[in-house]
Structures are given as structure tokens and as C-alpha cells.
Amino acid sequence: MVDGLKTPGTLFVRGAVFKHVILKGKIGGVVLACPWPRDGVPDHAFLTANRDYYGSVDWALDLTQCEAQLELSLASVPGHLIRRDPTTQILVTRERALSCDWQKIDLDGTPYDIVISRLVSEGRESEVLVAPSGHRSFPMHLKAQQRLRDAGVAEPD
């Protein structure tokens, strides 16, 4: 359990995997990512190993009591293995993204378009998008999340 985490900016955690980890309280900027891409190409060996590892995990992260203060990016953890608060944390699946024209949705300047584009291009199944409740852009994130739900890109919860 990580109960509160102050970061001086954004903490990058690359290539880590999780099982039964709870993030609660105020959490600073954290990016859980794959290893650095080689020549702009994702590390497919890592993506395969990551997929294999998470195949035997019942849940990886619990964010239900987490208050993201800055960016909380969870690209390396399959979204369906994250326990979340659906009021500020939405689940986007690759299948849903491919089934609609999400590029035409006004996402209010949030980075959600980049996240969804990478989700699709890297062939990952799902990702959780977190609205940073401690940041001034929080209302824009909530509006963008609702638009993604309305368009069928995010799970309706």
C-alpha cells in the first residue's frame, strides 16, 4: 500500500509490474510505462512478457481511494485489472476505440487522444484514464471523460 506520495514533478516507473498494490490518498505525478521504445518502436518483448504476467493476476492496482494531484498514467497496467472510482477514472478498451471515431471527440486539451492512440497502436487491451482531482484541469478531464462515455469509447459503468 502506498498512502500518499509526493513527487517533485512526474515520477516515471518503467517496466514494472504490479499485483495487489493499493494507491490511496494524494498521489503526485506518476507514469507507469513500458521501457523506452527503441527507434520509436515499442519494446514488443516487454509487451509480450507483460501480457503473460498479467494473465495470471486477478487485480493489479486499486485506485478507489486515490486522489491524483497531477498526471497519473497507467499505460503498462491492463485497465481491466485496475480497481477504480468510475466518477474520476474511466476504462477505455481497444475494442471500443476501434469501433468508433473517437478522434472527432472534443477532449478539452486533455492528453486522452494521445493515450487512446497509443493504446490502439500498441495493441494493448485496455487502459484507465484518471482525472487529476488536485489539478486546475480537473473539470476539463471530467468533461472529456463524459464525452468518451457518451461516444461509447469508455465503459459506461
Dihedral sign from CA coordinates of 138, 141, 145, 147:
positive
- The answer as to whether 157 is a domain residue is no
- The answer as to whether 79 is a domain residue is yes
- The answer as to whether 139 is a domain residue is yes
> Residue 76 is placed in which grid cell?
503498462
Q: Structural domain of residue 85, as residue ranges?
A: 2-150
User: Which band of pLDDT confidence, cut at 50, 70 and 90, is reported for residue 41?
Assistant: confident
How far is residue 47 CA from its own chain's centroid?
16
The number of domains in the chain is 1
- The answer as to whether 155 is a domain residue is no
Phi and psi for 60 in degrees, rounded to 5? -105, -55
pTM for this entry:
0.90
pLDDT of amino acid 1 = 96
Task: Tell me the average pLDDT across 45-70.
Answer: 93
Mean pLDDT (the chain) is: 92
